[in-house]
Amino acid sequence: MIVEGSVVPFAPSWESLEGRETPEWFPRAKFGLWAHWGPQCQPGFGDWYARNMYLPGTDAFRFHRERYGHPSQFGFKDVINEWKASRWDPEELVALYARTGARYFVAMANHHDNLDLWDSPHHAWNSVRVGPHRDIVGEWAAAARSHGLRFGVSVHAAHAWSWYEPSQGADPDGPLAGVPYDGRLTKADGAGTWWEGLDPQELYAQDHRPIPGFDQPKTINHHWDWPDPEHRPDTAYQANFKARTLQLARTYRPDLVYFDDTVLPLHQCGPVGLEIAAELYNLGEDMIVCGKILDERRRRALTWDVERGASDRIEPHPWQTCTCLGSWHYDTRRLAGHTYKSVAQVVGMLADVVSKNGNLLLSVPITGDGEIDDDERAILAGIGDWLAVNGEAIFDTVPWKVFGEGPSADNPPALRDQGFNEGGTMTAADIRYTTTDTALYATALARPDGPVVLRRLGRAAGLLDRQITGVHALGDDRPVRWRHEDQALIIESPAQVHRIQLTS
């Protein structure tokens, strides 16, 4: 922060962090793409695989036994060993993301599975030493910067302590009932194996007594924020997480660090989260630090991230929604059923979020081998085509006096916890507004099949303080017929986005 012309380092307190200023690049960027990619994509069986494979009764439990065998003999550490990323070409993928229109790119640096995807000196379970034997973060960073994109990382590993607890379990019945899963193994057990010299406890972090009911799928939801001090991570675990995270940031100098945590990592356990945030801000004035479930005060100190959802108002501070075309981790069932988000859904979300002072960070699932599938490529091509025509209503804009109108504006879905309110119906009557110094943009969340009626721009609404001098349909040079009435601005062109010129 700057005090009377001098730079003062940030301190690990909310009072200090509130002094940060949002860097100019972030609210201008609007659209980012995200590679939420790691070893859990290798099985191609969707989200939270490294946890669910140890939970009897889940689909992943059954799938794992059919494909790999019992997790006492083939646990997630062995899935990591199978993950080679043999077809991954970060340069080709980031070039595609840049052509799509992304202004920033975010790479997952680790997930709850606790594998660091860089050459991590504080954590032996990293992608240079095991699995692909490649510096995933470093290669992503180089590709992003070569294509002029801002670079970010997402960090999720703070929760490995409790998230991995099912790996301490055992089958409750059947021929291997009571045989411990591999979450109890130690370094000494590795003699003569591929992982000799590595300590599974460093990966699984299970040298502790688990939460009661740890072997039930939903238990983690009630203990996500470690409400019981008895089951919080110990100081050594917290210190190691801090060292790993700060070394990551100092080495790769990301412009954005996304934490998949309530407020900040380990926030409920002590000062570590605030210490990390202060050090990140001290690395440079372009830094964005994202956290979830933030109150109004904390949104002044951090950038609020909403998972799979959106605010219902114009936010006073820039914020971000994160979502995915399908499942967070690659799931072959999505491709088989063609159940990804459509181009129309993505661009509708983008227009909605931007109208409320937010950015959209979109994850494109990547196979274990390191590729994206044909359906995803077609969706990215469609997004790119839309932005090539309509991007001026998105990039470098700011919210107008109201974010929009229509059914979804009148009755917005409520946020649940950190988000999860996406998926509502978007119609041509749902309009979102953005503006620049010279124009006002009206974007319909679905393509109209008739005249566009903008009631917020009617004379009686009293929101316009300048005269409308012209209306243009983006992507169409033909003259547009329009009329300005007391109740609405009525545009005869059924284009999805219109530029409305106003007197200076």
For the full predicted model, state whether its pTM sits above 0.85.
Answer: yes
Residue 442: closest CA among 468, 462, 422: 468
Residue 108 within any structural domain of the chain: yes
Nearest in space to 458 (alpha carbons), one of 496, 494, 431, 420: 431
Using 50 as the pLDDT threshold, list the residues of the chain that sit under it: 3-5
What percentage of the chain exceeds 90 in pLDDT?
95
Q: Give per-residue pLDDT as tens, 2-59.
A: 544 456 799 999 999 999 999 999 999 999 999 999 999 999 999 999 999 999 999 9
Judge whether 323 lies within some domain.
no
Computed from CA positions of residues 392, 394, 396, 400, in that sequence, does the dihedral angle turn out positive or negative?
Answer: positive
Q: Is residue 51 part of a domain?
A: yes
Closest CA to 247 of 120, 142, 129: 120
**Residue 145 forms part of a structural domain:** yes
Q: Give the domain extent around 10.
A: 2-307
Per-residue pLDDT at 504:
80
* Residue type (1 letter), 386: W
- Report the CATH number that the domain containing residue 53 is assigned in CATH: 3.20.20.80
Q: Between 235-252 and 272-282, two packed helices, what is the crossing angle to 10 degrees?
A: 10
- Count of domains observed in the chain: 1
Place of tokens 């951090």: 302
412 belongs to a structural domain:
no
pLDDT value, residue 413:
80
Do the domain assignments include residue 152?
yes
Q: Is residue 405 part of a domain?
A: no
Task: Name 277's Cβ contacts closer than 8 Å, sequence gap at least 6.
Answer: 10, 12, 17, 264, 289, 301, 302
| Residue 355 in domain | no
